[in-house]
């Protein structure tokens, strides 16, 4: 298996190479040259596997430069009951007949990002040790990626993390999870802007070839293919828990801001998993809903990005949409680059609404979409609690609301949970009038001392901070 750039860089790379690299040299995102296909016999064989064994089987289709025994050991070490709370790793529960929730939030930071980040941390440590190298990770978070990355990388040999977040825009719990970490290899940067500013800085610095090479800069955001392919696993796992046989189709609804989670579902579908429809749920920052409804992709900028009660989706530039667009355009790298680089930079938008290819987003690839608001998510949280005895977080509530609008009789609907309610306690209190349960290990979290650096939304300022920190050394 070799990997190519969505923007046409012509030097195919191995999995190990793109694991450490992040963005391609031309600013594109890495994609496999072709998706491996799984047949009915393979699905049947995979149906009875444990989660770590299923992860190994799927990853082995994309990884040919890690010995199979080592890959199996990495997966076994990652997906354990000690880390994820039970041998199921991803429990799937029924909210009502034919309507299910896949529990992705039982890891160390109580968010679905742990599912991929724990694996990525172990893969990075393995590859760096094998090469005798070090890596400095530069990342951006709207809420959950940051803590998941830091908890996965803390104490890892040869790895340092520089994580940017929008200053004051995460929930108090999310901020405390990140900023209370005092490990020498963890550095938090609060950027005076929105998540899109943080993401732009990551791309700007990653595009600086000289700085990236000198300071060994890597990525853990879902621009990193390894993180995305790890998320493919739970689509297969949830399917096996719900579908009565391997010919049955299911629908998935995914709360999405940066499109990484939904893109993993697209990959699973391209591999042959019988997914009928992939429903993308947004909040008031509805750039993805607008695209899938109309073909218009229009970034909103700092002033047009709303601060909402499902803050991890307060995003108007969905990086991973480029991977889907690459497939939608028949893997035309030139046109992908024209739209995602040139057109967005010059005009801030592009419109495929009148292009015949846009119809394929729904017809061939199964995508649908919808949006939710603060009033909607409060109502859904309240209803799920009072009628079903299930407490869900605001992002999952957005997905439940949109999923109901798209549900089809006799086709199971699986909603991907994104976080536990405790991470968004103020919204839960507003919805149901009580505090969400809190794991004992997080008692008093918001009162711990914090360590962070506040910087302007400027790539030069972040570049200088990273270089200065590395020059100063640990401590």
The residues carrying an active-site annotation are: 113
Q: What is the dihedral of CA 420, 423, 424, 425, to 10 degrees?
A: 100
- To the nearest 10°, report the CA torsion of 438, 101, 43, 233: -40
Q: What count of other Cβ atoms lies within 10 Å of the Cβ of residue 331?
A: 14
Say how far apart CA 349 and CA 410 lie, in whole Å: 38
What are φ and ψ of residue 350, in 5° steps? Answer: -150, 160
Tokens of residue 431, six digits: 């919805």
Q: Which residues pair with 161 in a beta bridge?
A: 137, 186
CB 58 within 8 A of CB 229: yes
Q: 280 and 254 in contact (C-beta within 8 Å)?
A: yes
Distance CA 163, CA 142 (A): 11
- Return the exposure string of 10-19: e unless at least 16 CB atoms fall within 10 Å of the residue's CB, then b: eeebebbebb
Structure tokens at 2: 């070799």
Q: How far apart are CA 393 and CA 386, in angstroms?
A: 14
Q: Is 194 helix (H, G, I), strand (E, B) or coil?
A: coil
Q: Own/partner pairs for 315-318, CB < 8 Å, 24+ apart?
A: 315/142, 315/195, 315/196, 315/199, 315/257, 315/258, 315/285, 315/287, 316/196, 316/285, 316/287, 317/196, 317/199, 317/200, 317/287, 318/256, 318/257, 318/258, 318/259, 318/287, 318/288
d(C-alpha 104, C-alpha 363), whole Å: 28
DSSP structure class, residue 192: E
């Amino acid at each position: 298996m070799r990997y190519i750039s969505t923007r046409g860089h012509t030097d195919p790379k191995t999995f190990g190479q793109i694991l450490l690299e992040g963005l391609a040299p031309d600013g594109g995102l890495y994609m496999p040259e072709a998706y491996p296909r799984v047949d009915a016999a393979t699905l049947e064989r995979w149906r009875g596997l444990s989660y770590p064994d299923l992860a190994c089987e799927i990853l082995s289709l994309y990884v040919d430069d890690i010995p199979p025994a080592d890959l199996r050991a990495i997966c076994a070490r990652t997906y354990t009951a000690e880390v994820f709370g039970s041998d199921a790793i991803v429990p799937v529960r029924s909210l009502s007949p034919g309507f299910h929730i896949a529990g992705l939030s039982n890891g160390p930071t109580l968010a679905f990002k742990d599912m991929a980040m724990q694996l990525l941390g172990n893969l990075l440590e393995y590859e760096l040790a094998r090469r005798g190298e070090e890596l400095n990770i530069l990342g951006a978070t709207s809420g959950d990626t940051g803590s998941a990355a830091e908890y996965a990388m803390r104490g890892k040999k040869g790895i340092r993390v520089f994580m940017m977040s929008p200053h004051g825009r995460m929930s108090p719990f999310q901020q405390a999870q990140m900023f209370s970490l005092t490990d020498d290899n963890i550095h938090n940067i609060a950027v005076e802007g929105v998540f899109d500013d943080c993401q732009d800085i990551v791309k700007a610095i990653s595009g600086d070839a000289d700085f990236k090479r000198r300071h060994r800069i890597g990525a853990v955001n879902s621009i990193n293919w390894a993180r995305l392919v790890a998320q493919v696993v739970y689509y297969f796992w949830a399917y096996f828990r719900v579908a009565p046989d391997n010919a049955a189709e299911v629908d998935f609804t995914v709360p999405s801001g940066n499109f990484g989670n939904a893109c993993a579902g697209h990959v699973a579908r391209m591999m042959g998993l019988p997914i009928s429809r992939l429903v993308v749920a947004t909040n008031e920052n509805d750039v993805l809903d607008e695209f899938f409804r109309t073909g218009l992709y229009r970034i909103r900028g700092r002033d047009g990005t709303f601060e909402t009660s499902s803050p991890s989706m307060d995003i108007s530039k969905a990086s991973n949409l480029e991977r889907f667009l690459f497939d939608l355009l028949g893997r035309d790298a030139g046109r992908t680059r024209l739209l995602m680089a040139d057109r967005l930079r010059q005009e801030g938008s592009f419109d495929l609404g009148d292009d015949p290819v846009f119809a394929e987003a729904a017809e061939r690839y199964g995508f649908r979409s919808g949006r939710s608001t603060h009033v909607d998510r409060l109502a859904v949280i309240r209803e799920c609690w009072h009628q079903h005895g299930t407490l869900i977080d605001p992002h999952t509530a957005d997905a439940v609301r949109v999923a109901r609008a798209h549900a089809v009789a006799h086709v199971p609907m699986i909603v991907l949970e994104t976080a536990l309610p405790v991470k968004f306690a103020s919204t839960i209190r507003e919805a149901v009038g009580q505090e969400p349960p809190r794991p004992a290990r997080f008692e008093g979290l918001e009162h711990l001392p914090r360590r962070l650096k506040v910087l302007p939304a400027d790539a030069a300022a972040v570049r200088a901070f990273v270089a200065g920190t590395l020059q100063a050394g640990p401590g």
